[in-house]
Every structure is written in C-alpha cells, then in structure tokens.
A and B are shown apart, each in its own frame.
Chain A
Amino acid sequence: MTDPSDVRTAVADAHRRGWALALAATARVARDLDLAEECVQEAYAAALVSWVRDGIPKTPVAWLTTIAKRRAMDAVRREQVFRSKLPLLVESEAMEPEEFAPEEFAANEMAGEPAPHQPAAGEPAAGEPALGEPGDDVVPDERLRLIFLCCHPALAQDAQMALTLRLVCGVSTRDIARTFLLSEPTMAARMTRAKKKITAARIPYRVPGAAELPDRLSAVLGVIHLLFTTGHTAPSGAALVRSDLVDQALHLARMLRELMPDEREVWGLLALLLVTDARRATRVDTQGRLLRLEEQDRSRWDRAAIAEAHDLIVDGLRGGRPGRYVLQAAIASLYAEAPAYEQTDWPQILTLYDELLRIWPSPVVALNRTVAMARVHGPMRALAEVEELERAGQLAGYHYLPAVKADLLRRLGRTNDAALAYRQALELAQNDAERDFLAARLAERLAGPDHP
C-alpha cells in the first residue's frame, strides 16, 4: 500500500504536467474530443485507486496515457459504427498495436481486481508489465496538435480560450465558467458547440505546415496572451488579478517554448508574461487599491522572473528583425529593470515603440507609445498624438485613452479638462480596482506623475 496522500500528490502533479500529453495522445486514438476527455478523466480516477494498491509508477504520465488510450480504443471498438471523426491528416500510426502492448496490465486495471501481490511503493512487482520502463516513456508528443486545434481561427476567441483551458490545461468546465463569470451550463454549451464544429467542419488535428505556421502560431500566442491579460487585469469584477488564469497562461507559454524551442516569438511571449507578472505582488495595496508603477515597491518584484525574461529577450533580439512579442517584452523589461521609476530609460523605450508600431500598427500600441513620448518630448507633443488617436476613433470605448489624456492634461496644468477626461475614463472602465483608482484621481484633482 502506498500512502494515499502521496498518491494524491503524485496524481495532482501528473495532472499539471501530463494532462495535455495524455489528452492529446488519446484524442488521436479516440478521434473524438469528448471521448478522449472522458477517458483521460477516468485514467486519473483509476490512478487514485491503483497507485495506492500497486505503487506509483516510475513514469506516471506514460501510465495515465496508456490507460486512457486503451479505454479510448475499447470504446471505439465497442462502438463498431464509426462516428464522425476528427480528420487526422496523417498516417494512422496511432492504431498500431504496439502502443497497446501492456495487455495484461491494462486488463488488470480495467477489471479493478486486486493485484495478486502488493509491490512496494514505486516499485513494479516482478512479472508485472513494465509500464514506466524506457520505451513506454516515449509517448509521442501530440500536444502541439492539440494546441493548434484549440486555437484554430475558425473558432470564436472565447471558445479558443475555454477549449485551451479545458483540453490543454485540464481545468474543469466549472472552474472555467467561474473564471469567465458564466454559469456552468452556459460554458459547457459553448464548449460543446465548439467541439461539434471541430468535427462537423473537419477542423484538422495537426500542426500547420510551414506556409501557414506564422499566422497560426500568432493565433496561439494571441490566445495565451489574452488568457494572461484577462487574468492580469480582470475585465470586470472585484479583484484586479485572477491568478489562476495568469498561472495557466504562464504554464502554456512554457509548454509552447518546450514544444517549439526555435520560435523567437514564443520566447518573446514567455518573457512578456514573466516580466509583467513579476510585479503581481505589488500592483495593488493591502486594500486592493491599484498602485501606479512609480508607487510600487520594486524590492518586492520577482527578480528571478525578470532575469529569466531578460535572457529570453536578449536571445530574441538576436538574429533578424524581432517580432511584436519580443519587442513588447523588451519594453516591459526596461520598465522593470530600472532601479527607480524616474530612472527608466525612456528614449530606449520610445525607440522600441517606434519599431513595434512599424511591424504592428495598432492604435493601442500608438497610445502606449505616447506615454514614453511624453517623457522624452514632453506632455504637449504626446497630447497632440493622443488627440489625433481620439479623432481617428478606433479607440472609442477604450478607457485607457481618456486616462492617458487626463494625465497629460493634468501635467499641463489643465485641471478642468483633466477632470473631464477622468470622468470619461471612469465611465468606460469596468474593473472595480481600476474604477476606484480613476475615481481617486478625479477626486484629488491630481498632483504627481501618473502611469496609464
């Protein structure tokens, strides 16, 4: 007997590390996402019982994957009639028999019968199929296919996020619903609809070819980034940060870096998330009030994360023109690495923004650039650019625009205009911490520098 609490820890660990791997491999056999999900869920449930009895296998994820795949295989065989399948535009090597080699072992497990003898914890008994021996460990890594499937551009973006959390991260539908402030049935229906579309429209389960890869990868990066920003500044509700989402986004970015080690934009995204999240502990005070960058206690920033991001950025800036995530990370990193807010390297940040705006002409980037511009060229020139953006109208409804404008007006001594702009920002902001912050700025009629 293995200590049940050790088993629970091992299962939880295998869930975090191995869910995506097990699910991706099982989806390939099941050719049906619901069935795959069910089988993987059952495999984890089986582990809770089986590992107590037989010991924790040496390679828990391989064990779980084998069990889940076997269940899927059985279900497919039982069903006889093939339902509509995930199109697998590859040879169906998943059906090769050797992947299901440990016959007797799995049969034992599935029957739920007590093992004939009690092996010591973590030590496979003699004669037992050597799950966890080298060979079984080589689970073909299908996680990339799964990620590209979940982030397919033919799916709505909220469905992409939800599917990624469910299928790649193994987050329960109930928790996903709670994260997005929806009822569980609503979230479940949304995910079912997406899965039906995957099957009915034959969204392929594969990693895109070289020609499509840049576009498709940027969709994946976009989903991970959106999960992060949704967690980092929750779009509505009481708390500023939803740390579970932030953690899942970081987990996904790390996974992607492991799976696509040569993609510089993947490094850039991971660096951006790391450096942004390094300030998590200091973004609000003990009352949950939003703190401006210059008010935050820099000694409490996560220096290890900032250093890790730094190395990724240095590598990412080498070898050709950097992409948007590398540049965004570089900008965030300059903010984070300055010993004090006033010592921030504004000219360098402005240069990076110029480059970023060139490759990614987004009005949000243009707005953020005006903050650096105000530092380098003064608030007057920055205000002119903000007003130009306002006239262009693309940022209508975006509360950061009046917030940035208000701060510039205040610094120019135009307090009445500033108050008006703060009121506009307040009307548009939905997160309570941000609203409180803006209300406070409005109330005090503002002295001192600001940060968007």
Chain B
Amino acid sequence: MAQYAILIFANASHDHAALSPEDRAAHDRHGEAVEKFGGTMLTAFALQPAATATSIRGDVVTDGPFIDAKEVVAGFYVIEAPDLDAAMEIARRNPATQQGGGVEVRPVDSGFVGVPPTAG
C-alpha cells in the first residue's frame, strides 16, 4: 500500500466556492469511488476560493495564489491505494475532471495528520 495526495485543480474563475449544489454533491459522493476501487480516504479538504489566498515568497507577501495560473488548487485529499494504477482509477473519477478542471496525483513521501486541541 502507498499513500497518494490528490490535488484538485479548478478553473480560477470557478473554484470550489462557485460550485453548484449538484457539483458539490458529486464531490461529496467521491468517497464511494475511493472505496470501490480499493482505496481508503485518509483525509480530505476543500479550500476557500483562491482569491482568499495569501502567498509569501522569500520576504515578499502577495495577495492571491502562489502561482498565477488559469487553474488553482481548490482542495486536496490523501488516499491509501495499492499502487499508481489504483490511485489513477480513483483520481480519474474525481468530479473535478468533468467540471473543467482536473487532478494531480502525487505519491506521499511522509506526513501526519494532527488532532486540533478541543475547543475551549
């Protein structure tokens, strides 16, 4: 088994916040595809629109995403899967691939998921 991060890219003018309810529902159902193709969802995040991003390069702070491009990262999740073929089978079913964006599959080198302290 290996872990893969799947980065979801959306059109900059149409990222997560702009999704229709149907599109959102499609994303919410994607977890079923992960299971169906032999993977396990380890963690998943949808991000606020890229317009809310702040980037820091060296000492310079800029408003907006790190790379000025047509597509922006709209979310990411980490799965466990037997190999790249399985990860690709899962990733190609991500709704973003049918919504004008796409996904990038990256093998995970290392990492951990922390637990936030209980809210006080």
Contact = CB atoms under 8 A, between A and B. Distances in A.
Interface of A: 87, 89, 152, 154, 200-204, 208, 212
B2 interface: yes
A311 B28 CA distance: 53
B84 A154 contact: yes
Residue among A87, A152, A201, A203 facing the most chain B CB atoms (10 A cut-off): A201
B47 interface: no
B79 to A, nearest CB: 13
Nearest to A153: B88
Contacts of A152: 84
B98 to A, nearest CB: 18
A201 B85 contact: no
Contacts of A201: 2, 4, 84, 105, 107
Interface string B87-105: 0100000000000000001
B82 interface: yes
Contacts of B2: 87, 201-202
Contact of A204 (B83, B105, B107): B83
A57 to B, nearest CB: 37
A400 B33 CA distance: 44
A200 B107 CA distance: 7
21 contacts: A87-B2, A87-B82, A89-B82, A89-B83, A154-B84, A200-B107, A201-B2, A201-B4, A201-B84, A201-B105, A201-B107, A202-B2, A202-B82, A202-B84, A202-B107, A203-B84, A203-B85, A204-B82, A204-B83, A204-B85, A212-B85
A152 B83 CA distance: 13
A47 B19 CA distance: 65
Contact of A87 (B4, B83, B88, B105): B83
A38 B50 CA distance: 48
Contacts of A154: 84, 88
Contacts of A202: 2, 82-84, 107
Contacts of B105: 201
A208 B85 contact: yes
A200 B85 CA distance: 13
A37 to B, nearest CB: 21
A175 B25 CA distance: 53
Contacts of A208: 85
Contacts of A203: 83-85
A154 B4 CA distance: 14
Residue among B4, B85, B107 facing the most chain A CB atoms (10 A cut-off): B85
Nearest to A198: B84
Nearest to B85: A204
A95 B82 CA distance: 21
Nearest to A204: B83
CB-based closest 8 A-B pairs: A204-B83, A202-B83, A201-B107, A202-B2, A201-B84, A87-B83, A203-B84, A200-B107
A87 B87 CA distance: 13
B90 to A, nearest CB: 14
B102 to A, nearest CB: 14
Interface string B61-90: 000000000000000000000111100100
Contacts of A212: 85
Residue among B2, B83, B107 facing the most chain A CB atoms (10 A cut-off): B83
Nearest to A203: B84
Contacts of B4: 201
Given A201-B2, A203-B85, 11 more contacts: A87-B83, A154-B84, A154-B88, A201-B105, A202-B83, A202-B84, A202-B107, A204-B82, A204-B83, A204-B84, A212-B85
